[in-house]
Structure 1
Amino acid sequence: MKITDSISTELKQAHLKMLDYLQKHWRIFLIEGVVFMLLGIASIVIPHVSSVVIVLFLGWIIVFAGLMHAGRAIFFSDMPGFGLWLALGILQIVVGYLLLANPIAGVMTLTMMMALFFAFEGIIKIYLAFMIRPLPQWHFILVSGVIAFVFAVIILAFWSETAHWLLGLFLGINMVILGWSMIQMSLDHKDNQ
């Protein structure tokens, strides 16, 4: 059997599994799509606030994760890699604290990281769209991927002038587009039960 035949067979099996999953669980995709759209609209309406909220939320998550790593390392001090786990925990606590202490600088940093995220997300969505291409509405995922990649290019081109609000705005637009595509896919597969 050729490698291309094997890949084709695997893609066909993945397609059938995805189709079955979408038909059985279309309501989950619908609810998720509506939630993404609502969050996206809120982020678009108040991008400055949503940018700072994102940084503060992330800061607390990183501090909490750091406390967990450091606490586990201290509690299990005889564990292999103790120093590395403790260093990781301390690093996470420091980075989280820096985000919490200066959220505006965190917004600037996260905006740059968001450009990388959108670039990778766009590439992955485009790949997934072509992977599920025979499914109805696959082009919504493709459009979402192309837009995410374009966002990455725009962020990198205008980063210094717009970083304080662009993160919230683009994240909101991205969530609205993702939500819309999930709603469309779920409603299309609702009828195919």
Structure 2
Amino acid sequence: MNKRENIDIEIKRMQQQMLNYFQTHWKLFLAEGIFFILLGFCAVVIPQFFTVAIVIFLGWLLLFGGAVHIGRALLFSDMPGFGSWLFMGILQVVVGYLFIAQPANGILTLTMLMALFFGFEGIAKISLAFMMRPLANWGLILFSGMTALVFALIIAISWSETSHWLLGLFLGINMIFLGASLVKISLHHKEIH
């Protein structure tokens, strides 16, 4: 066997495993899809709220994570890399505090990071879709990936003017597309199972 045949065999094996998971756990994928659709609709209806909530939530995560880093660094001050651990903790606390205290500035930063997220997520979904290609409804995942890439481009072009609501809106739309894809795929595999 040559390398190409090995790759084809491996892809077919992964596709069969994916098919088995969809057939066996279709209810879990259905529930996950419905959850994403509901959450996505909430974010579309009130995108400003979701945008601010994301920034503040992330701020608290960074603040607490930084406090843990600082605490561990001080507890193990003789550990190699003490200065780096302490610096990372202080940096996380400062950025977390700034996100909480000045969410408007955090929104601008996060919106640009979301452009990167949507870009990488789009690439990952498109790759996954091509792995799923012979399976039913694989095109929905492909469409969701292409949509994420379009969102990344739109955010990158207009992020400073629209960041206060665009992040929540696009996150909501992205979740709706993902949820709808999961619902459609799970219902298809329910009928087969």
Please state which band the TM-score falls in when normalised by the shorter chain: over 0.9
Q: What is aligned with 1:179? A: 179
AA partner of residue 112 (structure 1)? M
1:112 — aligned with what?
112
3-state SS of paired residue (2:79): coil
Q: Tell me the equivalent position of 2:22.
A: 22
Displacement after TM superposition at 1:57 (Å): 0.7
* Structure 2 partner of 1:36: 36
Aligned residue pairs total 193
- Matched residue, 1:2: 2
1:113 positional shift? 0.7
Q: How far 1:131 sits from its partner (Å)?
A: 0.8
Aligned counterparts, 1:163-174, within 5 A: 163-174=163-174
Gaps of 5+ in 2: none
Task: Kindly provide the amino acid, as one letter, of the partner of residue 41 in structure 1.
Answer: F
**Aligned mates of 1:187, 1:17 — CA distance in 2:** 18
The share of aligned pairs that are identical, in percent, is 58
CA drift at 1:80 = 2.9
Q: Secondary structure at the match of 2:192?
A: coil
3-state SS of paired residue (1:134): coil
Distance in 2, matches of 1:103 and 1:130, equals 39
**Map of 1:62-73 to 2, 5 A cutoff?**
62-73=62-73
Alignment of 1:96-135 (within 5 A): 96-135=96-135
Secondary structure (helix, strand or coil) at the match of 1:162 reads: helix
Deviating runs (4+, > 6 A) in structure 1?
A: none
Secondary structure in structure 1 of the residue aligned to 2:78:
coil
Q: TM-score, normalised by structure 2?
A: 0.96
